Chains A and B, each alone.
Chain A
Amino acid sequence: QKEVEQDPGPLSVPEGAIVSLNCTYSNSAFQYFMWYRQYSRKGPELLMYTYSSGNKEDGRFTAQVDKSSKYISLFIRDSQPSDSATYLCAMSQGAQKLVFGQGTRLTINP
């Protein structure tokens, strides 16, 4: 079993929809949770960063962490075609190396 599981998709939704992306993990010691966005043929860029449990909002993006369920989510409101990308979850214990999910390929259709 992988430490971090992420549905690879692909996921296709109409413009304006609310998108929910999720990861589950097995290591209860993970404390730092991140979401990266990767456009085709580019390097991933850090989108959201959360420490421990709770919610964090940045514009149309909300990251949620539920440590009791070992489950993290990224919500995208009012999705735009420019949000079409691969989204990778990542997490770590302390200052240890990041463990990445497989990535979910998302397409927003105009």
Chain B
Amino acid sequence: DGGITQSPKYLFRKEGQNVTLSCEQNLNHDAMYWYRQDPGQGLRLIYYSQIVNDFQKGDIAEGYSVSREKKESFPLTVTSAQKNPTAFYLCASSQTGVNYGYTFGSGTRLTVV
């Protein structure tokens, strides 16, 4: 079955550490997105990529970094510069050129300990 896989489901980070969240899709989608969701808030866009080796900042990119070396993969690194990283992180993908909506992964819950 085609879909998006996010791992791990739960992640704990110590203060000052960088952590990387994985996102893999086998839908043959060109575009991929990272969102952050905090309790009672909507989705906030961190980064997006519409093609391999290219990506753009979203609304809240500070303290985060991404890479897009393969079409299937769009990992997100939460750096120590992100002062409030505890949140639910969602990865999504979509086709480009048409609009059939996004397919989301099941999310990664990141907690700073």
Contact = CB atoms under 8 A, between A and B. Distances in A.
- On whether the two chains bind one another, the answer is yes
Given A94-B99, A95-B99, A43 B105 contact: yes
Contacts of B109: 41
Interface residues of A, number: 24
A42 B107 contact: yes
Contacts of B33: 97
Interface in B56-113: 88, 90, 92, 96-107, 109
Interface in B28-46: 33, 40-43, 45
Q: How large is the interface on B (under 10, 10 to 19, 20 to 34, 35 or more residues)?
A: 20 to 34
A98 interface: yes
Given A96-B99, A100-B43, A103-B43, 8 more contacts: A6-B42, A32-B101, A41-B88, A43-B104, A44-B90, A49-B101, A95-B96, A97-B45
Interface of B: 4, 6, 33, 40-43, 45, 48, 88, 90, 92, 96-107, 109
25 contacts: A32-B101, A36-B101, A41-B88, A41-B107, A43-B4, A43-B90, A43-B104, A43-B105, A43-B107, A44-B43, A44-B90, A45-B104, A46-B101, A46-B102, A46-B103, A90-B101, A90-B102, A92-B99, A94-B99, A95-B96, A95-B97, A95-B99, A100-B43, A102-B41, A102-B42
